[in-house]
């Protein structure tokens, strides 16, 4: 409800708006921390083949002394249950997390934003129907549904992304819907309509610029949720079997006795990796939301 | 109020039916069902030859030989159990036990066997002798198909429920007791060192998935502590099987209260911490909002003691939005924590659900999913009603 009551940002000048966001982001220590954390992961993901000492996808002949070998000069983070280098797998694992995060959130936000704007602008029956669907999705418990969906579709990375989109677009739609409802009643929209501007023009020129920053903040949040969901599913054994992700690394290490032999080097890096990247996005999302929509602050971190 | 309740109950009923249809369909069309498992065994093993009779038997146990709509209706309301009213439609086909096979011969000489039509249909009369539940609708969830074969699902849930209840109940209570004071204090002392520390912890906590936290906890408190010769915590299960010795604490008898308590500590701690991280921020936020209200300033101006202002005037109102969060608690109390229970091998309902899915025990999985949805709906209803009680300005309508 607070979303409807809250004031949308007043600046209609988009160019200056973006620059303000960027400036404030750089000035906030939290935002800067988030940016730096993500820059590290992004670098690691993009340059994985050059940064990683070994190719984690290459088959390795495991010997009894190379399984769960502790960190050494040869393997800075030791080896895993298959005698493979943990550091290389860790570096390549960043790719999966980021791809899932980016693709899932981009499509989620696109669909959610579109539906939210259409339902909010045209209101009435469309809005009612949208909220009805959203309410049903809100009632169904997330994680059990994820598990069912992914085992139904088959555990490939694209299916995991699809499941994440299916379950998270309604949240964005709801948020945007509430915003558009309040913007629609503002005077400049009424005036534009009185002059004779078409709906498409009003949406493009008046509503979109005001909603976009909120969508941007939501995007960071959706990314962190998507990464959490992917790693959770992978930990439960529903990850893409052909890819190395932090979740599957944890799943294999946990399921194959890394805990009982005390092989912390196989567990800590993927675990910390997940926390690192999610924390980065959460910080970034929090700061952006704080800038574009200060009143909605309390709704964060639920 | 009455009209509101009636409308809401009707709405809840509809949503439940839709959710039931969705979950039932999703589960039954997912691949890797019991027949696939059986055929897989035949291909792999070769020792236990599986013939048509075995497949028929498995199909019958899972009711896979009955068409989906009829099967669904039998599951939902326990009908039809035989010919309607004892005699009507005894020969109506409601399913197919053995599908017909057609050999296709392609022009290039390849042949392929395709299932087409039905060799041996199942009629309503065939259903008469079969075991069937009274229907989910009448609170009979049928029998477990795999995990505890042919025992009622309710029994299975009953044996697991206490574990989930006291894990979730314990951690929720603990989190409430800790999170509310933290939130209040952070708000009162906004931007103090305490506030910044708690904010940092909350951010890390909200980015920390329960399985990562759980694994780290096991690693530190069980494995590394044990290696270092310090007192350690058992790493999994709710009850021990054998007695074990812990440095400084002596021998611990398996199944004793102390044994259960030690095993309870870690999963409870993980769940509590994660709840605290979110809830304390929430309380802080709404507390800040209330503290800046006019009536709080008035109270201060009148000379009311600061502690009374915070605890009486502000806290009460700031907890109103908090009720929304607690709506989900009812469902999580029952649904348990899927991932945390898996990490700590905790025999609760969350792990039962994962097991049921993995071993295609559809009746169990369906029952759990449905109960969860209903509880969530009830939770939302209770929240709405609670809102009107704590905030008389809100009217139901």
Q: Is the predicted pLDDT of residue B207 greater than 80, yes or no?
A: yes
How high is the pLDDT of residue A93? Answer: 92
- Chain A CA closest to residue B279: A302
Most B CBs within 10 Å: which of A90, A263, A302, as the mutation test of the B interface?
Answer: A302
- Chain B CA closest to residue A269: B212
pTM of structure: 0.84
Angle between the N-to-C axes of helices A208-235 and A142-153, in degrees from 0 to 180, rounded to the nearest 10: 70
- Chain B CA closest to residue A263: B219
Quote the ipTM score.
0.83
A chain contacts of residue B342, beta-carbon cutoff 8 Å:
236
For residues B279 and B176, what is the distance between their CA atoms, to the nearest angstrom?
A: 8
How high is the pLDDT of residue B40? Answer: 66
Give the per-residue SS3 of chain A.
Answer: CHHHHCCCCCCCCHHHHHHHHHHHHHHCHHHHHHHHHHHHHHHHHHCHHHHCCCCCCCCCCCCCCCCCCCCCCCCCCCECCCCCEHHHHHHHHHHHHHHHHHHHHHHHHHHHHHHHHHHHHHCHHHHHHHHHHHHHHHHCCHHHHHHHHHHHHCCCHHHHHHHHHHHHHHHHHHHHHHHHHHHHCCHHHHHHHHHCCCHHHHHHHHHHHHHHHHHHHHHHHHHHHHHHHHHHHHHCCCCCCCCCCHHHHHHHHHHCCCCCCCCHHHHHHHHHHHHHHHHHHHHHHHHHHHHHCHHHHHHCCC
The closest CB to that of B376, out of A141, A264, A279, belongs to: A141
Residue range A229-251: average pLDDT? 90
Residue range B351-356: average pLDDT? 88
Residue range B358-386: average pLDDT? 85
How many beta carbons lie within 10 A of that of residue B120, not counting itself? 13
For residues B237 and B27, what is the distance between their CA atoms, to the nearest angstrom?
A: 28
How high is the pLDDT of residue A1? Answer: 36
Is the CB of A141 less than 8 angstroms away from the CB of B224?
Answer: no
Do B277 and B201 form a contact (C-beta atoms < 8 A)?
yes
B chain contacts of residue A271, beta-carbon cutoff 8 Å:
212, 215-216
The 10s digit of each residue's pLDDT in B268-312 is 999 999 889 888 988 998 898 888 888 888 998 998 898 888 888
Residue B11 distance to chain A (closest CA, Å): 11
Highest mean pLDDT among A220-234, B80-94, B248-262: A220-234
The 10s digit of each residue's pLDDT in B150-201 is 788 889 999 999 999 989 999 999 999 999 999 999 999 888 999 989 988 9
Residue A199 distance to chain B (closest CA, Å): 33
The region that residue B248 occupies, defined by phi over 0 for left and psi between -120 and 50 for alpha, beta otherwise, is left
DSSP helix/strand/coil, B139: coil
Q: Where are the domains of chain B?
A: 38-137, 155-390
Residue B22 distance to chain A (closest CA, Å): 10
At A298, the pLDDT band (50, 70, 90 cuts) reads very low
Do A164 and A104 form a contact (C-beta atoms < 8 A)?
yes
Helix or strand holding residue B391 (H, E): none
The closest CB to that of B209, out of A151, A232, A259, belongs to: A232
Long-range contacts of A149-152 (CB under 8 A, 24+ apart): A149/B26, A150/A233, A150/A238, A151/A238, A151/B30, A151/B31, A151/B32, A151/B357, A152/B26, A152/B29, A152/B30, A152/B31
Most B CBs within 10 Å: which of A271, A276, A277, A281, as the mutation test of the B interface?
Answer: A271
The closest CB to that of A254, out of B215, B372, B380, belongs to: B215
Residue range A127-146: average pLDDT? 74
How high is the pLDDT of residue B69? Answer: 84
Backbone CA torsion sign across A152, A157, A158, A162: positive
Is the CB of A268 less than 8 angstroms away from the CB of B202?
Answer: no
Q: How many CB contacts within 8 angstroms connect chain A with chain B?
A: 130
Q: Which residues contact B349 (CB under 8 A, 6 or more apart)?
A: B157, B160, B161, B163, B164, B334, B335, B336, B341, B368
Residue range A140-148: average pLDDT? 77
Q: How many residues does chain B have?
A: 397
Closest CA to B142 of B82, B53, B93, B72: B72
For residues B200 and A32, what is the distance between their CA atoms, to the nearest angstrom?
A: 15
The 10s digit of each residue's pLDDT in B125-142 is 777 777 777 888 888 888
Do B49 and B110 form a contact (C-beta atoms < 8 A)?
no
The 10s digit of each residue's pLDDT in B20-74 is 888 788 777 766 666 776 666 666 655 566 677 777 887 887 788 888 888 888 8
Tell how far CA B146 is from the center of its chain.
19
Burial B226-235 (b: 16+ CB within 10 A, else e): beeeeebbbb
A chain contacts of residue B339, beta-carbon cutoff 8 Å:
143, 232, 235-236
Is the CB of A301 less than 8 angstroms away from the CB of B235?
Answer: no
Closest CA to B143 of B369, B338, B366, B346: B366
What string of DSSP letters covers B321-352?
THHHHHHHHHHHHHH--HHHHHHTT--SHHHH
Q: Which residues contact B34 (CB under 8 A, 6 or more apart)?
A: B58, B61, B62, B64, B145, B146, B360
For residues A117 and A120, what is the distance between their CA atoms, to the nearest angstrom?
A: 5
What's the CATH fold of domain B155-390?
A: MetI-like fold (1.10.3720)
Across chain B, where does the E strand assignment appear? 93-105, 111-123, 244-246, 250-252
Do A267 and A258 form a contact (C-beta atoms < 8 A)?
yes
How high is the pLDDT of residue A294? Answer: 59
- The CATH code belonging to domain A19-46+85-301 is 1.10.3720.10
B chain contacts of residue A256, beta-carbon cutoff 8 Å:
none
The closest CB to that of A298, out of B30, B224, B285, belongs to: B285
Do B255 and B239 form a contact (C-beta atoms < 8 A)?
yes
Percent of chain A with pLDDT over 70: 90
Q: Which residues contact B367 (CB under 8 A, 6 or more apart)?
A: B136, B141, B142, B153, B157
Is the CB of B204 less than 8 angstroms away from the CB of A298?
Answer: no
- Chain A CA closest to residue B322: A302
Interface of chain A toward chain B, CB-CB under 8 angstroms: 135-136, 139-141, 143-144, 147-149, 151-152, 154, 224, 228, 231-232, 235-236, 250, 254, 259-260, 262, 264, 267-268, 271-272, 274-275, 278-279, 282-283, 286, 297-302
For residues B8 and A228, what is the distance between their CA atoms, to the nearest angstrom?
A: 34
Q: Where are the domains of chain A?
A: 19-46+85-301
Q: Is the predicted pLDDT of residue B391 greater than 80, yes or no?
A: no
A chain contacts of residue B202, beta-carbon cutoff 8 Å:
301
For residues B356 and A233, what is the distance between their CA atoms, to the nearest angstrom?
A: 16
Percent of chain B with pLDDT over 90: 14
For residues B260 and B237, what is the distance between their CA atoms, to the nearest angstrom?
A: 9
Cis peptide before B80 (omega within 30 of 0): yes
The closest CB to that of B289, out of A236, A283, A298, belongs to: A298
For residues A184 and B292, what is the distance between their CA atoms, to the nearest angstrom?
A: 29
């Amino acid at each position: 409800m607070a979303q409807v009551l809250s004031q949308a940002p007043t600046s209609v000048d988009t160019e200056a708006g973006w620059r303000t966001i960027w400036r404030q982001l750089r000035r906030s220590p939290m935002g800067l921390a988030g940016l730096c954390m993500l820059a590290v992961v992004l670098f690691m993901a993009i340059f994985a083949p050059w940064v990683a000492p070994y190719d984690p996808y290459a088959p390795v002949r495991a010997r009894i002394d190379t399984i769960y070998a502790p960190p050494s000069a040869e393997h800075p983070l030791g080896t895993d249950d298959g005698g493979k280098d943990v550091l290389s797998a860790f570096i390549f694992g960043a790719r999966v997390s980021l791809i899932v995060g980016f693709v899932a959130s981009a499509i989620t936000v696109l669909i959610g934003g579109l539906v939210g704007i259409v339902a909010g602008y045209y209101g009435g029956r469309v809005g009612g129907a949208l909220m009805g669907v959203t309410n049903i999705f809100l009632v169904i418990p997330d994680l059990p549904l994820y598990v069912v969906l992914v085992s139904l579709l088959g555990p490939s990375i694209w299916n995991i992304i699809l499941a994440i989109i299916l379950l998270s677009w309604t949240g964005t739609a709801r948020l945007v819907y509430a915003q558009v409802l309040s913007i629609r009643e503002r005077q400049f929209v009424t005036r534009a309509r009185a002059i004779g501007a078409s709906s498409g023009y009003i949406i493009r020129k008046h509503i979109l610029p005001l909603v976009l920053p909120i969508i941007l903040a939501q995007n960071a949040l959706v990314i962190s949720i998507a990464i959490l969901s992917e790693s959770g599913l992978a930990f439960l054994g529903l990850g893409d079997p052909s890819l190395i992700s932090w979740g599957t690394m944890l799943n294999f290490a946990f399921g194959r006795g890394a805990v009982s032999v005390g092989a912390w080097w196989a567990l800590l890096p993927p675990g910390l990796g997940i926390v690192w990247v999610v924390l980065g996005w959460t910080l970034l999302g929090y700061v952006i939301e704080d800038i574009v929509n200060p009143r909605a602050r309390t709704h964060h971190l639920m | 109020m009455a009209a509101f309740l009636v409308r809401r109950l009707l709405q809840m009923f509809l949503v439940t039916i839709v959710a039931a249809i969705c979950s039932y369909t999703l589960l039954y069309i997912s691949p890797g069902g019991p027949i696939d498992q059986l055929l897989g065994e035949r291909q792999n093993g070769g020792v236990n030859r599986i013939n048509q009779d075995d497949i028929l038997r498995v199909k019958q146990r899972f009711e896979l030989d009955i068409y989906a709509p009829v099967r669904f209706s039998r599951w939902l309301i326990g009908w039809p159990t035989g010919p309607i009213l004892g005699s009507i439609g005894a020969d109506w086909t409601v399913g197919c036990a053995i599908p017909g096979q057609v050999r296709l011969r392609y022009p290039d000489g390849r042949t392929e066997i395709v299932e087409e039509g039905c060799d041996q249909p199942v009629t309503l009369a065939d259903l008469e002798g079969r075991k069937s539940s009274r229907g989910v609708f009448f609170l009979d969830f049928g029998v477990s198909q795999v995990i505890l074969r042919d025992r009622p699902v309710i029994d299975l849930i009953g044996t697991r429920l206490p574990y989930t209840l006291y894990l979730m109940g314990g951690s929720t209570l603990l989190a409430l007791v800790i999170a509310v004071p933290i939130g209040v204090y952070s708000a009162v002392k906004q931007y103090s060192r305490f506030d910044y520390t708690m904010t940092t912890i909350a951010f890390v906590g909200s980015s920390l998935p329960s399985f990562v936290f759980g694994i780290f906890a096991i690693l530190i408190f069980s494995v590394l502590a044990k290696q270092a010769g310090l007192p350690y915590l058992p790493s999994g299960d709710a009850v021990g099987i054998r007695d074990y010795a812990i440095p400084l604490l002596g021998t611990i008898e398996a199944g004793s209260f102390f044994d259960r308590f030690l095993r309870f500590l870690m999963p409870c701690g993980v769940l509590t911490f994660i709840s605290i991280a979110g809830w304390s921020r929430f309380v802080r936020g709404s507390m800040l909002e209330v503290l800046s209200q006019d009536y709080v300033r008035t109270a201060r101006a009148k000379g009311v003691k600061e502690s009374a202002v915070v605890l009486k005037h502000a806290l009460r109102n700031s907890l109103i939005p908090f009720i929304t969060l607690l709506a989900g608690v009812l469902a999580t109390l029952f649904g348990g924590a899927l991932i945390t229970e898996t990490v700590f091998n905790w025999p609760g309902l969350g792990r039962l659900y994962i097991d049921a899915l993995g071993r295609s025990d559809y009746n169990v999985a369906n029952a759990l999913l449905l109960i969860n949805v209903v509880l969530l709906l009830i939770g939302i209803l209770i929240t709405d009603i609670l809102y009107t009680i704590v905030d008389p300005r809100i009217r139901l309508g």
